[in-house]
Each structure stands twice: as C-alpha cells, then as structure tokens.
C-alpha cells in the first residue's frame, strides 16, 4: 500500500513512523526542506520537499498512483485543498485534519461533496476521551468498542485491595462475572494473563466489561467513586473549548483558566455558561484562591507538557481531584508512568490510532475487518475489534479447539447486541463482533489470531 502524508509536524512524523512500522510504502511532503531532512533521518520513508497543494509536487510524490493521502499540515484549508487535488489526481482515499470548530458541523458536507474519506479532529477526539474519563473517575484509561457496547478500562490495584493475590480465574468466579481481565502491567512487564495468573497490589489491570457493569464492578473490587460535579481546565485552546461544551451537556460546572486576555474574552463569548478566568494557571496563589483543594476534576491543556505535568502533580498534592494530563511531546514513558499525573491523553496519539485502524481496514481483502483499534501499555499491546462478515478458519469452532497465537486473548464476543465473556466452549460466528487483545503487532484479519 502506498500512503502519502502532507505535513511533517508532530502528527505527520508519528504517522510516518507508525505506518512505516506497518510495512507501508510512505512518502512525506513538506515545504520546509530542513524539517523534512531531519524527519527522514529518523524514519525510513521517502520525502518530497514542496507545496502539498501543488499538482506537480503531488505527482512527484506519486499521489496519482497512491492508495491514501493524509493531509495534516497546520492549516485546515490547506489540508482540504490537498485532499481535493489528490482525489481529482486519482488517489483512492483521502484523510484531512480539520481542527477549526467552524468546520466541525460541516464534516458530512466535506466528506460527501469534496470526496474526503475521513475528516479528523484531534482536539475534538481528545475532548471526548477526557469526558469519558471524567464519567468514570476511577479509570486511568477508557476505550469503547462495538459502538459503545463494550469498554476497555485501565484500573489500578492499590495496596490492601481485595484483588491482591487472587488469580484471574478466581476473579471471574468470585468477584465479578461478565468482566474479563485481558492485560496486566507490572513494573515494566506486559502480561496477557491466563486463568492461573495472579493479580498483585501495584499492578494496573485492563478489563473488558459492558458499560452498564462498570460501577458495579468498581464497587465489588473496593474502588470508591465520587461523581465529578465540577471541572477546572488549565489552558483555553481548542480542546478546552470542545471539552467545556461536552461537560456542559453533562451538567458539570466548568471553569477555564486562560492567560491570554483576548482568548479568554473569546471563550467567554463562545461559552456563556462557563466561568473563564484570565490568569496564569501556574500561579499557585491563583489556584488556591480558586479552591484547588476542593476541585472534583482538573484537566491540564496548556501548550507545554512540562507545565501540564507540574500542575497535575501539584493538584494531586493539595487536593483530591481526578486529574487528566495532556502530553504531546514527552517520550520518557518509563519516567512519566511513575509520576502522579492521573490519566494522560495525547491528541496526536488518538488520531494516529484512528488512521492506523483505517489503513488496516483498507488493506484487508477478507471477510472480517478491523473496526476499532487501540494501543495500550506504551504501544506494546493492541486491542482490536473485528467484524465477522464471512466464514473463515476461526468461525464455527469452540475457542478451545483453535490454535491461537501466544500473547493473545479473545476478550469479548458481541452477538445480536449481547456481550459474551468467552470461555473455551464459545465459538465465533458470522455477524459477531470480536475484541482481541494481543502483543502481536499488525493483525489485519480475524484469521491472523491463529498460529
């Protein structure tokens, strides 16, 4: 498959690396020759220095013969024009990053009339992810599958927990049926468990469960939840705007602290029900005067990762808020994982997952497609949802009779709207949606789960 990426910023570079790792033929276009040269020294892809809206530049990059054009420059209009030209040049699919809220309600028009296969909005996706974390404050991460029928949650196992020392099999029989532990993070180790794997205090466990069971599950394992009634947001960028709009719908009181006076005034006009404070979110005195010790939720969305980290650690120190930290640049996962940052989110990582999912679905020529993809445990494991649209080597046989790859677990089967926590006697059927967790990278079809 041939993919052309226009824009060599943070997202463009991340996509180039991840698609290259997927054995995809990638070419990157960027006007800045020096930036492009640095990127090519880091990633094994091809590059063309030039204007992505130029037909001549696109032709040089092989767009007319390409399978997918992804436009992720810093300007929405440039991205849309790149895709429009590429579509008329002959490329099969186009994806445009469109961030401006003005265009948000026009996505269907952009897709239908302009021939854009997908319009992606990193800030909107990030805001939706944050809102889900606020709905389930005990979760460190949460991802939905099968159109919201199944959730993947990352939950900590604290000291003194009822889970300490029990096996996965005992969890299923004694603690909570209908919930499957599908992965465990222990120190730097990734464990895809079997029934005999023991849980330990200090672990982070990933569980698959229907959303309606989440609060019952948390109660049974002794995690107390306090509903989030108010949220303070540090930084008033586009993500903050989308998040505030989303939280307003949930009747949550929202406060935004924004340093730039002009932007603070804009937010006040756009969000009349939100309290907007023109001030420095890193001002300790301001935070304490605004009641930081009593906040229910705190989200750091400034443009500096380091500032976001320090603010979250401070709020964790002085209060009890559910903290969510935006990180876009920090790459020292081993250090970040040990810091009291609460949940962490990254707009570019969220969008990269969506595009990788789209690419795998494009590549698939079989009857079962990758519907949803999420990477967990610092990208060392993948969670994939397959839609079973035809017969294959895995259908119609009990799971116990299938020779599954090591480091792989069938976590959920959704059939006719009902969620099945699979055992050895269950089977995969046509029409099912199947959720898989695996440390094997690059699965594209359901049959790839077999040895």
pLDDT digit string, tens, across residues 323-343: 999 998 766 666 777 789 999
Give Cβ neighbours of residue 189 (< 8 Å, ≥ 6 apart): none
CA-wise closest residue to 168 among 425, 409, 419: 409
Could you confirm whether domain 2-120 is CATH 3.40.50.720? yes
Q: What is the pLDDT of residue 155?
A: 94
Find, among 141, 163, 137, the residue nearest to 152 by Cα. 141
Residue 60, judged by CB atoms within 10 A of its CB (0-12, 13-18, 19+), counts as: middle
Nearest to 211 by CA among 422, 419, 431: 419
End-to-end CA distance of the chain: 25
CA distance 206 to 300: 24
What is the DSSP code (8-state) at residue 101? H
Is 164 strand, coil or helix?
coil
Beta-carbon neighbour count of residue 173 at 10 Å?
12
**Residue 410 near residue 194, CB atoms below 8 Å:** no
Q: Is the dihedral of CA 76, 78, 79, 85 positive or negative?
A: positive
Q: What is the pLDDT of residues 25-65, one digit of tens each?
A: 999 999 999 999 998 999 999 999 999 999 999 999 999 99
Q: In what order do the strands lie in the sheet with 141-145?
A: 141-145, 150-156, 204-209, 180-186, 189-191
Please give the pLDDT value at position 264. 98
Helix (H, G, I), strand (E, B) or coil at 376: strand
Mean pLDDT, residues 57-77: 96
Q: In the prediction, which pLDDT does 13 show?
A: 93
| Contacts of range 181-188, beta carbons closer than 8 Å, 24 or more positions apart | 181/205, 181/206, 181/207, 182/152, 182/206, 182/207, 182/208, 182/383, 182/409, 182/411, 182/437, 183/376, 183/377, 183/381, 183/409, 183/437, 185/377, 188/334
SS3 at position 240: helix
For 382-408, write each residue's pLDDT tens digit: 999 999 999 999 999 999 999 999 999
Q: At 325, which helix (H) or strand (E)?
A: strand 322-326
Query: Could you identify the residue written with the tokens 């990633």?
Result: 43
For residues 68-89, give the mean pLDDT. 94
* Per-residue pLDDT band at 225 (split at 50, 70, 90): confident
Q: How many CB atoms lie within 10 A of CB 255?
A: 18
Q: Domain spans of the chain?
A: 2-120, 127-220, 230-345, 364-449
Q: How far apart are CA 250 and CA 318, in angstroms?
A: 26
Separation of alpha carbons 223 and 229, rounded Å: 18
More confident residue, 227 or 103: 227
Instruction: Please tell me the number of Cα atoms within 13 Å of 280 on its side-chain side.
Output: 5
Tell me if 127-220 shares its fold with 364-449.
yes
Cβ atoms of 351 and 125 closer than 8 Å: yes
Q: What is the reported pLDDT for 366? A: 45
Return the biggest CA–CA distance within the chain: 65
Strand, helix or coil for residue 356 = helix
**Percent of the chain's residues with pLDDT above 90:** 74
d(C-alpha 268, C-alpha 270), whole Å = 6
Q: How many residues does the chain have?
A: 451
Separation CA 148–CA 167 (nearest Å) = 28
Hunting for tokens 């200090």 — which residue is that? 202
Handedness of CA 413, 225, 296, 378 (dihedral sign): negative
Tokens for 139? 């979760």
DSSP lists the bridge partners of residue 186 as 189
The whole-angstrom separation of Cα 244 and Cα 255 is 8
Collapse the DSSP code of 21 into the 3-class scheme (helix H, G, I; strand E, B; otherwise coil) and give the result. helix
The position carrying tokens 């939905």 is: 144
DSSP string, 4-18: EEE--SHHHHHHHHH
- Spatial separation of the C-alpha atoms in residues 314 and 218, rounded to whole Å: 26
Q: For the whole model, what pTM was predicted?
A: 0.88
β-pairing, 189-191 vs 253-258, is unpaired
Considering the domain 364-449 in this protein, what is its CATH number?
A: 3.30.70.1450
Q: Which residue has the tokens 């001549």?
A: 56
Fold for 230-345, please state it: Rossmann fold (3.40.50)
Average pLDDT on 301-319 reads 95
Highest mean pLDDT among 196-200, 357-361, 377-381: 196-200
What is the pLDDT of the chain when averaged over all its residues?
92
State the DSSP string of 27-53. Answer: EEEES-HHHHHHHHHHSS-EEEES-TT
Task: Tell me how far apart the alpha carbons of residues 443 and 425 are, in angstroms, rounded to a whole number.
Answer: 24
Report the CATH superfamily, name and number, of domain 127-220: Regulator of K+ conductance, C-terminal domain (3.30.70.1450)
């Amino acid at each position: 498959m041939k993919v052309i990426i226009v824009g060599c910023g943070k997202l463009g570079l991340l996509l180039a690396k991840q698609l290259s790792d997927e054995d995809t033929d990638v070419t990157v276009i960027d006007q800045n020759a020096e930036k492009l040269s640095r990127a090519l020294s880091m990633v094994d892809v091809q590059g063309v220095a030039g204007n992505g809206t130029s037909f001549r530049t696109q032709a040089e990059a092989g767009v007319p013969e390409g399978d997918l054009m992804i436009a992720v420059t810093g300007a929405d209009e440039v991205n849309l024009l790149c895709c429009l030209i590429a579509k008329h040049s002959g490329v099969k699919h186009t994806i445009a990053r469109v961030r401006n809220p003005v265009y948000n309600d026009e996505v269907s028009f952009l897709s239908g009339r302009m021939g854009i296969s997908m319009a992606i909005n990193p800030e909107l996706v990030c805001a939706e992810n944050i809102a889900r974390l606020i709905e389930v404050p005990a979760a460190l991460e949460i991802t939905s599958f099968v159109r919201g029928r199944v959730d993947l949650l990352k939950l900590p196992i604290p000291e003194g927990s009822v889970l300490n020392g029990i096996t996965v099999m005992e969890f299923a029989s004694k603690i909570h049926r209908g919930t499957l532990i599908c992965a465990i993070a222990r120190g730097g180790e990734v464990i895809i468990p079997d029934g005999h794997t023991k849980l330990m205090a200090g672990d982070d466990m990933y569980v698959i469960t229907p959303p309606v069971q989440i609060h019952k599950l948390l109660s049974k394992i002794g995690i107390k939840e306090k509903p989030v009634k108010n949220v303070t947001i540090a930084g008033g960028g586009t993500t903050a705007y989308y998040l505030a709009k989303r939280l307003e719908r949930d009747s949550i009181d929202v406060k935004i602290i924004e340093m730039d006076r002009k932007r603070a005034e804009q937010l006040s006009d756009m969000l009349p029900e939100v309290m907007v404070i023109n001030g420095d979110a890193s001002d300790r005195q301001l935070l304490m005067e605004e009641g930081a010790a009593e906040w229910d939720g705190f989200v750091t969305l400034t443009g500096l990762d380091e500032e976001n980290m320090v603010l979250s650690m401070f709020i964790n120190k002085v209060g009890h808020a559910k903290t969510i930290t935006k990180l876009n640049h920090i790459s020292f996962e081993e250090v970040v994982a040990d810091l009291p940052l609460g949940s962490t989110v990254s707009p570019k990582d969220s969008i990269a997952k969506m595009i990788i999912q789209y690419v795998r679905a494009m590549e698939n020529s079989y009857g079962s497609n990758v519907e949803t993809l999420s990477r967990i445990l610092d990208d060392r494991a993948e969670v994939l949802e397959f839609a079973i649209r035809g017969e294959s080597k895995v259908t119609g046989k009990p799971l116990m009779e299938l020779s599954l790859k090591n480091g792989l677990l069938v976590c959920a089967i959704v059939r006719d709207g009902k969620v099945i926590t699979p055992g050895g006697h269950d089977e995969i059927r046509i029409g099912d949606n199947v959720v898989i967790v695996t440390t094997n990278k690059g699965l594209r079809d359901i049959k790839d789960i077999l040895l």
